[in-house]
A and B are shown apart, each in its own frame.
Chain A
């Protein structure tokens, strides 16, 4: 079955907000190729409301290739309880129950379902045991403050490290497979 996968830029102290402010020269060709490998594995995209609104205002007119073509042309599902409609090409609004909608998408054939940005959605998917793979691109910086990926108050959640790569500028790409919270401890 196809997987739901997510990848996020994150600082050593867990901040995911405004990576453009702390990414510096870490977004180099090596990072680009790692990310291109990632997007080559997906043919469906999930977006949270905040990322959708930011990206819908930027990518439709962008020429930053190859990502512009990928994000504009790939079918996008926007998870929001407050939006009435979505206007970005190839996007559909999902209002219903997140778990049911994800199950529906997963039953369809195709490549992976990739979550684009959308840290709040990533956290919800992780919490609801709906995420199959999480790649954290850990940047060599302690940002100090800003929105973090993991919320306080969640129950303990163990993951399994599947892969680890290091870029020459010191970004560590860690791929985790969340363990099923309901399943047995493997």
Chain B
């Protein structure tokens, strides 16, 4: 069965974006050769990208017209967006799923192929986490306190124990953390 992997750059205070949607300009402090290489290596593990509506809209808007190796990957890879409000999904190679994300992801996991990855998408992460559908949480912990924003882990009544798979330090001071559910 293929895995569902979450990947996000997160600040020390737990945010993956600032107070405004797509406030991720702080990536610039740390983005460099090692994160670029990590990102391209990681791309080779991706079968399909899964998005919530908000992340999808921002990603589609940005990558559709961007160029370069990462843009090529983002535009050509198979994508699924989960939304009950979107009418269509125009970004290349994207399928819109209006029904239950949990059911669809459970089904996709059974299909052959490379792994399913989620970027951003805190709401989707929360609902899939609640159903135990996420196999790996991958975090780029940034040496930065942002002061406010959208947390990657939404407040929850459920405590989740994890198993550390890897901790790797990047030149910029980002610590790459990989966890599986314990």
Contacts and interface: CB of A to CB of B under 8 A. Distances in A.
Interface of A: 12-14, 22, 24, 126, 136, 138, 140-145, 148-161, 164, 166, 170-172, 174, 176
B29 A158 contact: yes
A145 B144 contact: no
A39 B158 CA distance: 34
A155 B13 CA distance: 12
Given A144-B153, A152-B148, 19 more contacts: A12-B162, A13-B153, A14-B14, A138-B141, A140-B161, A141-B159, A141-B161, A143-B159, A145-B156, A149-B13, A150-B14, A154-B145, A156-B144, A158-B144, A158-B145, A159-B12, A166-B167, A172-B167, A172-B177
B175 A14 contact: no
Contacts of A157: 144-145, 147
B131 to A, nearest CB: 15
18 contacts: A13-B14, A14-B12, A126-B145, A138-B177, A140-B182, A141-B161, A142-B156, A144-B155, A144-B156, A144-B158, A145-B155, A145-B156, A154-B147, A157-B145, A158-B144, A161-B175, A164-B169, A176-B143
Interface residues of B, number: 34
Contacts of A136: 12
A166 B146 CA distance: 25
Among B143, B148, B160, B182, chain A packs the most CB atoms within 10 A around the CB of: B143
Contacts of B159: 22, 141-144
Contact of A170 (B29, B144, B164): B164
Contacts of A14: 12-14
B151 interface: yes
A24 B159 CA distance: 12
Among A22, A24, A172, chain B packs the most CB atoms within 10 A around the CB of: A172
B91 interface: no
A135 B43 CA distance: 32
A145 B156 CA distance: 6
Contacts of A142: 153, 156, 159-160, 162
A86 B86 CA distance: 62
A154 B145 CA distance: 8
Contact of B167 (A126, A154, A160, A164): A164
Given A136-B12, A141-B159, A161-B169, A156 B26 contact: yes
B163 interface: yes
Contacts of A153: 147-148
A155 B145 CA distance: 8
Contacts of B63: none
A55 B43 CA distance: 49
Contacts of A154: 145, 147
Among A24, A158, A176, chain B packs the most CB atoms within 10 A around the CB of: A158
Interface in B6-50: 12-14, 26, 29
Given A14-B14, A153-B148, A166 B164 contact: yes
Contacts of A138: 141, 177
CB-CB nearest 8 A-B residue pairs: A170-B164, A161-B173, A150-B13, A144-B156, A13-B153, A157-B145, A154-B147, A140-B162
